[in-house]
Structure 1
Amino acid sequence: MTATARPIITSSIKIAGITNPTVLGYFETLNAGDFDAAANLFADDGVLHAPFEEPIIGSISIATYLKTEARGMKLEPQQGVSQILEDGNVEVPVSGRVQTSAFGINVAWLFLLNSDQKILSVTVKLLASPQELLNLRSHKKSEV
């Protein structure tokens, strides 16, 4: 049996200062609701650090989490930079906004990619006042 090559998809996401296809693909797949594809961008032991959550480790756990928590979210990354670290990994901080049906909030994402362009980690930070964060946390608890 032969493996078929996956077509290269050009991203419709544009982020000032970012051309990395993995980072662009992360936002593209999440906005398309393709949570399995988003999770497959992670390394086998990749970690998603989501707000108010323990670290989510591995693509299966990440996909499961995204299917539950990211439905209906629209990620609006705006700008970022890419920097190669001494160990050869790439660090990519991105700032932007996330919009849900209930609220919109400024967000920062910090990506760490390995030399194979797989995501080692994504840390998502909400950029809000303490009161806004308390309101979001209360809103999240009331949804459960």
Structure 2
Amino acid sequence: MTVIETTAIAGIVEPVIEAYFATLNAGQFEATADLFAVNGALHPPFESPVVGTEAIAAYLKAEAQGMTLYPRQGTKEPLENNRTQVNVTGKVQTPLFGVRVAWTFILQENHQIESVEVNLLASLAELANFQR
């Protein structure tokens, strides 16, 4: 069994959020996708939502290789229907560049991820320098 190193996020104590970052950083994309509800959605920057655990795992395998996520701080607030919104800011380092990022998680009552929206916090000048 692989030991997954977790990262403390100031202001947040939420095991599913910690597991999201830990499994992504370990390259365990199926484990990351399993944290989502069956019809959960990943909203990557500048792309259409990726819906469903299988689609999320496939997307992460294709797009998240070599990325390291550094969540730094967050806030948590209750929503209707026993859901919770968790906002986290930090940095993502790819093999080519690093960028500041904000993640907005919606958690269901059972602590599964209903959705996560990933937003780049880069300036227009910084974004202009990125090439896919």
Task: Calculate the TM-score normalised by the size of structure 1.
Answer: 0.87
Query: Does 1:44 find its partner at 2:38?
Result: yes
Query: Does 1:79 find its partner at 2:66?
Result: no
Query: Does 1:93 find its partner at 2:87?
Result: yes
Separation (CA, whole Å) in 1 of partners of 2:44 and 2:4 = 27
CA contact (8 A) 1:113 1:120 kept: yes
1:91-117: CA deviation from partner (whole Å, max 9, x where unpaired): 000000000110000000000000010
Q: Which residue of 1 aligns with 2:123?
A: 129
Moved over 4 A (4+): none
Which protein shows a greater Rg?
1
What RMSD over aligned residues (CA atoms) do the two structures have, in Å? 1.5
1:60-114: CA deviation from partner (whole Å, max 9, x where unpaired): 0000000000000000000001111132101000000000110000000000000
Q: Which residue of 2 aligns with 1:15?
A: 9
Q: Aligned residue pairs: how many? A: 131
Identical residues among aligned pairs (%) = 50
Separation (CA, whole Å) in 2 of partners of 1:70 and 1:81 = 25
CA contact (8 A) 1:98 1:106 kept: yes
Separation (CA, whole Å) in 1 of partners of 2:128 and 2:101 = 16
Which of 6, 9, 20 aligns to 1:26? It is: 20
Separation (CA, whole Å) in 2 of partners of 1:16 and 1:64 = 30
User: What secondary structure, in the 3-state scheme, does the structure 1 residue paired with 2:9 have?
Assistant: coil
Task: Calculate the TM-score normalised by the size of structure 2.
Answer: 0.94
CA shift in 2, pair 1:10/1:71, >3 Å: closer
Unpaired runs of 5+ in structure 1? 1-6
User: What secondary structure, in the 3-state scheme, does the structure 2 residue paired with 1:63 have?
Assistant: helix
User: What secondary structure, in the 3-state scheme, does the structure 2 residue paired with 1:51 have?
Assistant: coil
Q: Which amino acid aligns with 1:73?
A: M
Separation (CA, whole Å) in 2 of partners of 1:108 and 1:12 = 18
Separation (CA, whole Å) in 2 of partners of 1:132 and 1:54 = 22
Unpaired runs of 5+ in structure 2? none
